[in-house]
Amino acid sequence: MGLPESMQVVEITRFGAPEVLRVASRPVPVPAAGEVLIRVEAIGVSRPDSLQRRGMHPPPPGASDVPGLEVAGGIVAVGSGAGDWKVGDAVCALLPGGGYAEYATAPMQQVLPIPAGWSAIEAASLPENMFTVWETVFSRAKLSAGETLLVHGGTSGIGSTAIMLARAFGAEAFATAGGSRKCAACLTMGASLAIDYKTEDFVPRVMEKTGGRGVDVILDIVGRDYVQRSLECMAVGGRLVHLATQGPEKHATLDMSILLKKRGTIIGSSLRWRSPEDKGRITAELLEHVWPKLPARSPIAPLIDSVHPFQDAARVHEYFDSGAHVGKIVLTT
């Protein structure tokens, strides 16, 4: 049976609040050379989707203007030069855009098999988080067994992935989160310390936990004053990974003497605009180091907050923006 000519997608009609999202009809895309076409079963909701909706995170040139950076489903067509991928393969993929749709194309370098024992809904939570955390925390910041990692926003998709990966590779993870429920979730994921930022200052708690040494790597998705405070609880030779700044204030004031004294490193990163070849290097590392650990579902396990029809994307974005979720929100077709 052939493919349909049209499909449902969720469009951004204008930049703004969640209600700017609407369901529309578009032609089913045709995979170009080096691409595969995926019949989408599940879509991971990520912060870049919310930022794109507000006009703050545009897609790279040539990419679909439909939001959505991670999907899972089955391959239904392949372009020329698409490697070993074939029709019928169950996959998840990192996209430059176009994920909020019934069909989506993906560069072959950014496609991964759905791990054994994982459903498509569960696998849709993997690509954006795994690519980001592996590249920044492990490849660039070089978190190693026996070291300590402080994760800000421990119940976010990025944060929860970082906690579980740290545990899987022999590091100890601490986390900050808002409220007792989220702190309890961080401990369940494998963090040995969870600090409620609404009621406690994380700096003295971290220094107490480490005997005054500080932590080796810090993963920051908050920004603002967290950058300076993170430096204060960084160990000598520590690395601060900065991925995002929450809220309208984009600036941070730093006492650079602390960074110099601690011989520290600040690492910035952005993934979406990088080439398929560059992302393919990360894919290869994930396949070698991380994917063999996933079938066991421990200590790296799916953490799904909730599942919704993708036609409800506007309501889902309202929930996502509230920050009440723990783990990944997934849309299904």
pLDDT in tens, 99-153: 999 999 999 999 999 999 999 999 999 999 999 999 999 999 999 999 999 999 9
Burial 264-287, CB ≥16 within 10 A → b, else e: bbbbebebbebebeebbebbebbe
Average pLDDT over residues 279-291: 97
Contact 136, 117 (CB under 8 A): no
pLDDT of residue 86: 97
pLDDT of residue 140: 96
- Is residue 18 left, alpha or beta, with left meaning phi > 0 and alpha meaning psi from -120 to 50? alpha
Question: What is the spatial distance between Cα 292 and Cα 138, in angstroms, rounded to a whole number?
Answer: 16
Question: What is the spatial distance between Cα 320 and Cα 313, in angstroms, rounded to a whole number?
Answer: 10
pTM of the model: 0.94
3-state secondary structure of 190: coil
Least reliable range by pLDDT among 196-210, 245-259, 261-275:
245-259
Does pLDDT of 223 surpass 80? no
pLDDT of residue 243: 87
DSSP string, 75-123: EEEE-TT-TT--TT-EEEEE-SS--SBSEEEEEGGGEEEPPTT--HHHH
Question: What is the spatial distance between Cα 137 and Cα 171, in angstroms, rounded to a whole number?
Answer: 11
Contact 33, 320 (CB under 8 A): no
Question: What is the spatial distance between Cα 122 and Cα 250, in angstroms, rounded to a whole number?
Answer: 33
Does pLDDT of 45 surpass 70? yes
Question: What is the spatial distance between Cα 225 and Cα 254, in angstroms, rounded to a whole number?
Answer: 9
Question: What is the spatial distance between Cα 182 and Cα 184, in angstroms, rounded to a whole number?
Answer: 5
**pLDDT single digits (tens) 56-73:** 999 999 999 999 999 999
pLDDT of residue 273: 87
Average pLDDT over residues 2-27: 97
Inter-helix orientation angle 180-189/157-168, to 10°: 30
Does pLDDT of 171 surpass 70? yes
Question: What is the spatial distance between Cα 130 and Cα 19, in angstroms, rounded to a whole number?
Answer: 29
Per DSSP bridges, beta strands 111-113 and 90-94 are antiparallel
pLDDT of residue 225: 82
Residue ranges of domains in the chain, CATH in brackets: 6-125+302-332 (3.90.180.10), 130-268 (3.90.180.10)
Q: How far is CA 299 from each of CA 57, 242, 295, rounded to the nearest angstrom?
A: 32, 25, 10
